[in-house]
Chain A
Amino acid sequence: MATVTVNGQPFPAEPGTPLHQVLRRRGGLEMPCAGQGRCGKCRITASGALSAPSSAERAHLTREELARGVRLACCVRVEGDCRVTLSDSARSQICLSGVMDAVSLRPRFHACGAAVDIGTTTLAASLYGADGTLLAQASAANPQAAWGADVISRIEAALRGEGGALAACVRGAVDALLNQMAEQARIAPGEIDGLVITGNTAMLHLFTETSPEPLSHAPFEAARLFGETCSAGSLGLSACPEGSVYLPRCVSAFVGADITTALLAGGICGKDETRLLVDVGTNGEMALWHGGALCCCSTAAGPAFEGAGLSMGMHGQEGAVDHVSVRDGVLLPHVIGDVPPRGICGSGVIDALACLLETGELDETGLLETSPALIAPPAALTQKDVRMVQLAKSAISAGLRTLLHTAGISCPDVAELAVAGGFGSCLNAENAGHIGLIPEGLVSKVRVLGNAALSGASMLLLDEELAGTCEHLARRARTLELSANPVFAEYYTEGMFFGHGTDGL
């Protein structure tokens, strides 16, 4: 048995064990491409008895980096005693606040209640007192990132028999958030007697250790859509095992409970007006409320706006370029925190492309004058990055247009486009319109909701009578399939360019 010392803490490991398995036990590792050696983002510093650098490592790391002991965690095998330094992720700007529709106070808890959103990338939670006051909030990265940034990598890991480990690590992280909030509010964690835990369909499957097998292939029909109550203890939450947990209902395999709760927070349904909701993440989920009916769809946006997909992409945390503007033809980047730039996050990517279009360094077809285009050195966008964004933004915009087209309406008929999730309050709607992420006709109608999934979960927590309405809505919602949909394909092609590059069609 060998000893792997991670940041001073020893872990036993059999020689031959992949290093990432040891690091997963400790936590704090992110492996966006699920360990295929493709993204080069699981960098660590290591020395001792380790396997020789693989071809993937030699491709991603410079000679000096390798000489300094920089390695890719996914490629290394433990061969004997070794030491590893894992830089703990920088402080994240996880969006906790969100717009919340008015509620009547009919809480589903007695002493204290907690609302939790299990996002693919981040976890966020709010703690409430019996009188409905917000006592504390907390957030963390989803530790399942060690199995891959996207949902499919994690589903695949669960199907390989790692479902128990995936459930345990996210449950541990939720427990940590509950304990942290209890400490902030100076209450005992056991006083939390009612919880609402929302998340997308796959996240709720993995959290409850339900087999995600039906989510792994067409026809993608989830066997379990939730809308159920169980005990915190039965879900492996040890902070407040006696608490009762409500899991809101999902609409379908790809439109989860996070959308159900976001719809609630945004007050999207129920009124006569036509409203759209979009949540941009690894998948773009969209919903249209029109004529008293709800129609949803989901499109693979790829991780372009979430960091993993771009050469210098990162989450919205310290060192990320989150905004860019132009003055006198020069890019003016804004970096999160008082630190040098390290990369670029989703909102920064949108701004940067809009600015590059303005300065003419990016043409309407998506061709960069020079690649990489420096945004805030060393943070830059390569030609390949721009292409990734083109695919993603076009998929989102085409999804929205297909929803409208299917309902037989167009942009002027829409009262509002509510934007939830990912970008939080950082999204510059005008720039999103410029690059074609949002149809131009909807730009003036954008309302940014912030973390609407969490706000909606809080509403369900504070007013238990909302659950019925919410479940009814999710059950009746129609899901529009975009794969092999000719209308979507047409809009998708049309929306790939920037500006008016598709004239002549």
Chain B
Amino acid sequence: MELLNQISQNLQAGKAKIVKGLVQQAIDEGIPAQQILEEGLLSGMSVIGEKFKNNEIFVPEVLVAARAMNMGAGLLKPLLAQDGVRASGKVCIGTVKGDLHDIGKNLVKMMMEGKGLEVVDLGVDVAPETFVKTAEEQGCTVICCSALLTTTMGVMGDVVKAAGEAGIRGRVKIMVGGAPVTQAFCDQIGADVYTADAASAADAAAELCRATA
């Protein structure tokens, strides 16, 4: 549909105000909220995610595109709730205790929302117990931990341990990422998934949610 395609195009260009206007127009024209979300906003974000993975675009475009998506999604949220539309999965995300860097974490969050996932954002300086408690109480499928400092990435190992002690490793997967994190480190602490960039993280989380749905 042309209108939804326009939403997707303007979202990719980061034109937040235009996206908001077009989403309102689509609602007024009676297009179902779920269709606007999937064929307009999420389809635009998936193009952004692909381009990001291929190095064609970078953080700035993702940030402005995500801002455009959020402005559109804000209008859709009450309608989706009304229609009883459920997100395709639920994850919690945070920067680990001792670390205050949130730019990478926010990028991952945006990409995940762009995949239609519900993301519980725990913010920065998050204690291992908080990740585990949130996952248990809110029924998250994935815990995503971010760290930017070599001096704080060790806390990710504590999250893995805490999840093991709480006995949730069977139903909750743990993903790790951040500049100093590597696959070798992920293996060493016994986390489930490492991804090198935000778009791959969103793909991996969506895949984990699909697998357990």
Interface residues of A (CB under 8 A from B): 34, 152-153, 155-156, 159, 216-220, 300, 365-367, 383-384, 387, 390-391, 394, 481, 483-484, 489, 492-493, 496-497, 501-502, 504-505
Contacts and interface: CB of A to CB of B under 8 A. Distances in A.
Most chain B beta carbons < 10 A, residue from A153, A391, A493: A493
Main SS class of interface, B: loop
A493 B64 contact: yes
**Chain A, interface SS category:** loop
Interface string B145-157: 0000111100000
B64 A484 contact: no
Contact of B64 (A34, A217, A383, A505): A505
Contact of B100 (A390, A484, A497): A484
B99 A504 contact: no
B115 interface: no
B58 A159 contact: no
A504 B14 CA distance: 8
A219 B124 CA distance: 11
Interface residues of B, number: 31
B53 interface: no
B61 A153 contact: no
Nearest to A300: B101
Given A218-B125, A483-B101, A387 B64 contact: no
B202 to A, nearest CB: 19
B142 interface: no
Nearest to B154: A217
B102 interface: yes
Interface stretch (B15-23, B75-83, B161-169, B187-195): B15-23
B14 to A, nearest CB: 7
A156 B14 contact: no
Contacts of B196: none
A179 to B, nearest CB: 35
B16 A366 contact: no
Interface string B16-32: 11100000000000000
Contact of B124 (A220, A387, A483, A505): A483
B59 A217 contact: no
Interface in B113-166: 123-125, 149-152
Contacts of A394: 60
B14 A484 contact: no
| Shortest Cβ-Cβ A-B pairs, 10 listed | A217-B98, A496-B60, A483-B100, A216-B151, A504-B15, A387-B58, A493-B63, A218-B125, A218-B98, A218-B100
B87 interface: no
B149 A493 contact: no
Given A217-B152, A218-B97, 14 more contacts: A152-B151, A216-B152, A217-B99, A218-B100, A218-B152, A365-B57, A366-B58, A366-B60, A493-B63, A496-B64, A502-B14, A504-B15, A504-B17, A505-B15
A384 B106 CA distance: 20
Contacts, number: 82
B55 interface: yes
Residue among B14, B67, B124, B150 facing the most chain A CB atoms (10 A cut-off): B150
15 contacts: A152-B151, A156-B150, A216-B151, A217-B97, A217-B98, A365-B57, A365-B61, A483-B100, A484-B123, A489-B103, A489-B106, A493-B60, A497-B64, A502-B14, A505-B14
Contacts of B61: 365
A367 B150 CA distance: 31
A49 to B, nearest CB: 27
A328 B98 CA distance: 52
A20 B150 CA distance: 20
Contact of A217 (B57, B63, B149): B149
With a 10 A CB-CB cut-off, give which of B17, B55, B58, B149 has the most chain A CB atoms. B58
Nearest to B125: A218
A387 B64 CA distance: 15
Contacts of A502: 14, 64
Interface string B88-110: 00000000011111110010000
Contacts of A159: 151
Nearest to B150: A156
A502 B60 CA distance: 10
Contacts of B98: 216-218
A94 B187 CA distance: 43
Contacts of B14: 502, 504-505
Given A483-B101, A483-B124, A505-B17, A217 B60 contact: no
Contacts of B58: 366, 387, 390
A390 B64 CA distance: 14
Nearest to A159: B151
Contacts of A216: 98, 149, 151-152
A33 to B, nearest CB: 10
B72 to A, nearest CB: 13
A505 B151 CA distance: 37
Contacts of B106: 489
A484 B102 contact: yes
Contact of B55 (A152, A155, A383, A493): A383
A391 B99 contact: no
Nearest to B103: A492
Contacts of B59: 387, 390-391, 496
A504 B17 CA distance: 6
Nearest to A302: B179
B10 to A, nearest CB: 8
A354 to B, nearest CB: 17
Contact of B151 (A217, A481, A504): A217
A217 B98 CA distance: 4
A483 B101 CA distance: 6
Contact of A484 (B16, B97, B124, B151): B124
A390 B62 CA distance: 13
